[in-house]
Chains A and B, each alone.
Chain A
Amino acid sequence: MAVSPLITRLGLALVTLFGVAVIVFCLLRVVPGDPVAMMISPSATPADIAALKARYGLDLGLGAQFMLWLGAVARGDFGTSISLRRDVLELIGERLPATLELAFAALVFGILAGGMLAIFGTLCRRTPLEPVLDFLNGLFLAVPDFVWALALVLLFGVFLPVLPISGRLDPSVPVAFATPFYLLESLARLNLAAVGDLLAHMAMPVLALGLPLAAIIVRTLKEALIEAMLQDYVLLARLKGMSPLRLVVQEALRNAVGPTLTLTGVQFTFMIGGTVIVERIFAYPGLGNMAIDAVINRDLPLIQGIVLTFGALFIAINIATDLIAALLNPRQAHG
């Protein structure tokens, strides 16, 4: 992608984010429920309530509230969480890395598992294994992430209790982290005990989030691979004596990966949405888990901050997907 389209994309991203901000702000104010009512003790006087409203700017008109909030956000001030009484940006900074590590682990798992199974499925074409694989693929496509999460809790938490069912890190693992990216930091420090424990905690949520992605990748990529395998250049390569695996990986894969890449970008944004419920089920201390608390507590500043963060993340994923697609397209990669 050349420079100027990238700038256009970034400009568009800002506009999109502004739209997200407007929608979130309006939605939160039309749904019923009074944040102040959640904070006060039953003995509060009307004067207490008014003081509280004034403190959070809730006594102003909607337009004024929005402008105030947007101006603050533009300066990097997302306000103070009503329920946790801490800076929203700080809270997000603590929780987002946990979610990012989880989501990226699930993405890597989904791509590797889905990619390998798609290649395997292409190699199994016209063998008795093909209908079996297709049937399993269809089954996996039909199971959503939260169902996986519950099934995995039953399987590895109850019947075969080999994996921790909640949290991110066992308290018995002695580490003081300098950053909130526990997994990356442990990897960088080669602290294998910590890496092992973190991965054990991530295993089930990663499977729950990654299996549906893998299933979609298998279906899309296999279809494209089979189509690509019919091309003349694959036939010529086969006549030259290339092995079936090399035919799929070297000849077909690069040309077949386009649609899968775009789809994976879209699915990744869905998956980040999925972290909300999956993190909740596994009590994983990520942004999604906090989002549910924020909604339960009607913590407007925190909800707004989290939703904007998710919005920015989605846009970043879209741009990254386009960039990678452009890099993989030989027409763009080689002039």
Chain B
Amino acid sequence: MRLNLENFTKCFDGTPVIEGLNLTVEDGEMLALLGPSGCGKSTTLLSVCGIYRADGGRILFGGRDVSALPSQRRNVGVVFQNYALYPHLTVEENIAFPLTVQKPRPSAAEIARQVREIAELIHIDALLGRRPAQLSGGQQQRVALARALVRKPDVLLLDEPLANLDAKLRLEMRSEIRRIQLETGITAILVTHDQVEAMSMCDRVAIMDKGEILQIDSPTQMYRSPANRFVAGFLGNPPITFLEGRTGPEGRFSMEAGLTLPLPSHLRGMPSGRPIALGLRPEHFGHGGQGQATGRVTFVEPQGREMLFDVQAAPGVTLRSIQPTRDDVSIGDEVTWKVDADRMLAFDAEGRRL
């Protein structure tokens, strides 16, 4: 079911945390709300499910305004960060709970059938008799997911669902959650501060900062073409390197520290003397291109398949390069590597993309 937030506003104690936010999640789409801690992701989520009342604007489920409805009548499934399983109930009773409070209450046989069906989908049919305390983190996560999905909600909300799992389980649950979302075809919002999660699990990503959505795009598009400096800096690991400087004559860019590079070709016509910032991703340094930079290798980080190099190209200016593992470069070496100038991202003094 399609979900709309129109001019959504939420205040705490009179100060707005989110002001005039607009967001559309298409039917069957999984959208990530990605942003640093404290930017208002959870607040948005809890307002969609009705635990917080919006202070302004409308929330629409499939075109129907639900802003005034209490949680119980919104039909939203939520998976909380700490799973919030009911510790005194078995897994089966946990999953059945949403059905047992329905009016009219389905028959016991019907409840058992639906619980079994969802348990099979989520691969927890062997755990039904256990209590939450006897489950691993990943299993608890699955139970929480089953409980949220059992009454076939219009929208599924996941608040940092993987934050409490260890690295291996996180990888596994990442694809599991996506599989279940695709199989049920449910509209879902995933809240996370982890870019890898957002990019790998979702159809589209909405980047939030300070209560505002800065950009909504597909993961690839967002990575290639960020709308502003915040988005460019937030996505990418290892992160992008920003170089502050001015446009020079003949389509060049120069920094006070002495480094000069060609501008990306679409900016070569810019008048000189303008303050701009260039963003250089590590995969665009040391792999070909029209520009080049020379410097001393100050740091090498082997990562197995790849290696990360820090190169001091000018006093106080460190460029970062990621390359397939090689043995011929070590700390202290002087290197001259190509810079792919056309793939660099340029931003004006206000952080807008040029």
- Decide whether A and B assemble into one complex: no
